[in-house]
Each structure stands twice: as structure tokens, then as C-alpha cells.
């Protein structure tokens, strides 16, 4: 009887791992049909017979991006919207350019973990844990060749406090990781979040909240 229960327990454990993991691909690739009106979780596949090399290609990531904005940064996304062949493959890329003292402001990727490598310059980076571990800040100064990981769904940032430009490359564990910039979402929501709610939540006076909501919250992701 004990052996029977042990067998059932092992089967249950194996089943739970199988359900928790991502399903294996059922075909070589699934090039996204970005023009399809069919709504699915992701993008529908176009006929593989119509796929071409350009569906798996992106050019120009070696070119410096314009950082002449209020944030002093520019993020060039390379995800399924730029490379349809990334659909279902669970990976994407981004180039991050920083002017001196430029910042990629606190944000989250709701669907992907990020691993970042500094190619030029020096970056001060960090992420904050969720409420249960008491919102602990993990921070590090990165130099050329250094690598840092930002776990999925956690608020994180990158700041160039050097006097020269900085460049980094980030890989993300989703073909469409998404970006939610905290300030933009909170103070730039459309329609706006009630200023009473924000004043109470951030322990600010209503005039300060109204001023913040009146600002232009730019998006540095392209």
C-alpha cells in the first residue's frame, strides 16, 4: 500500500512540473502575421511557405540612437513587432543608448526577465523586490563588459552618471516582454487616475499631483 501511494505521489509531482513548464514547439517556426485580424495570445502564424529571410532579420543595431530628449536615453526594441520570426520563440533584444547623465527611468517588463551587458561607458543599475521581501533595492555600478540581471516583473532602472555616452545591449526572455514606465503609467494614464487617489497613495497634496499629471511623460522606447 505504501509503495502504491509513493507511486501516485511521484506521478502527481511529475505532472505538476509538466504543467508548469512551457510547451514544446510543434513546428520549426511561427512567423507572426502582423496584419491578421484574428485575436490570439500573441500573433497567429502566417503560412510557412510564405516565410522569407527578412522575417528573421533586423538591421542597424550598430547605429547610435538619438538621446536628445528630457531623459537623455533611447531604447531600440527588437521584438516580434520588428522581427516577425521571433513569434513563439520566447526571446527578444534591445539596444540602450545614454547621453551623459541620461536615465532609463524605473519601469517593469511584465512578461520577461532582462539580462543587460554594458558595451560602452558606466551605468548605475538596480531593481527593487516586491512588498514581501520589504522592497529591497539591489544596485550595482557596471562598467564595460559587465552583466546584470533584472528579474521579470520587478521595477528596475539604468542611469549613466558618467561624462561620456554609454551603450548597453539587453536580452529578454519573451518575444514581447512589454514595458510599463512607472511615472508614465501613474501620472500619465488616460483617462487620468483620480488626483484624490494619487494624493492619498503618495501622501502628497492635491496641487502637487495635479502638477505631476500636467507634465509630459515621454516614452523613450522605440
* DSSP structure class, residue 27: S
Determine the Cα–Cα distance for residues 141 and 111; give it in Å rounded to an integer: 25
Determine the Cα–Cα distance for residues 82 and 74; give it in Å rounded to an integer: 16
CA distances (Å), origin 39, targets 22, 49, 63, 84:
21, 22, 35, 16
114 known member of a binding site: yes
Residue whose C-alpha is closest to residue 75's, from 178, 152, 174, 154: 178
104 known member of a binding site: yes
C-alpha cell belonging to residue 184: 508614465
- What is the number of alpha carbons within 13 Å of residue 127 lying toward its C-beta? 19
Residue whose C-alpha is closest to residue 34's, from 79, 99, 93: 79
CB 162 within 8 A of CB 100: yes
Determine the Cα–Cα distance for residues 184 and 191; give it in Å rounded to an integer: 12
C-alpha cell belonging to residue 178: 512589454
120 known member of a binding site: no
Annotated binding site for oxalate: 104, 109, 114
Annotated binding site for Mn(2+): 107, 109, 114, 156
Annotated binding site: 104, 107, 109, 114, 156
Amino acid at each position: 500500500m505504501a509503495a502504491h501511494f509513493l507511486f501516485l505521489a511521484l506521478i502527481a509531482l511529475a505532472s505538476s512540473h509538466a504543467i508548469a513548464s512551457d510547451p514544446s514547439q510543434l513546428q520549426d517556426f511561427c512567423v507572426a502575421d502582423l496584419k491578421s485580424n484574428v485575436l490570439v495570445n500573441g500573433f497567429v502564424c502566417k503560412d510557412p511557405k510564405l516565410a522569407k529571410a527578412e522575417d528573421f532579420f533586423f538591421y542597424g543595431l550598430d547605429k547610435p540612437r538619438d538621446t536628445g530628449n528630457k531623459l537623455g536615453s533611447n531604447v531600440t526594441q527588437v521584438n516580434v513587432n520588428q522581427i516577425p520570426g521571433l513569434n513563439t520563440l520566447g526571446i527578444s533584444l534591445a539596444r540602450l543608448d545614454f547621453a551623459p547623465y541620461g536615465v532609463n527611468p524605473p519601469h517593469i517588463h511584465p512578461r520577461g526577465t532582462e539580462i543587460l551587458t554594458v558595451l560602452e561607458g558606466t551605468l548605475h543599475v538596480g531593481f527593487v523586490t516586491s512588498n514581501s521581501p520589504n522592497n529591497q533595492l539591489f544596485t550595482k555600478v557596471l562598467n564595460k563588459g559587465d552583466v546584470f540581471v533584472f528579474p521579470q516583473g520587478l521595477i528596475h532602472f539604468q542611469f549613466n552618471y558618467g561624462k561620456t555616452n554609454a551603450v548597453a545591449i539587453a536580452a529578454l526572455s519573451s518575444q514581447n516582454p512589454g514595458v510599463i514606465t512607472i511615472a508614465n503609467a501613474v501620472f500619465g494614464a488616460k483617462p487620468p487616475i483620480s488626483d484624490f487617489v494619487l494624493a492619498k497613495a503618495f501622501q502628497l497634496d492635491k496641487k502637487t499631483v495635479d502638477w505631476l499629471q500636467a507634465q509630459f511623460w515621454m516614452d523613450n522606447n522605440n
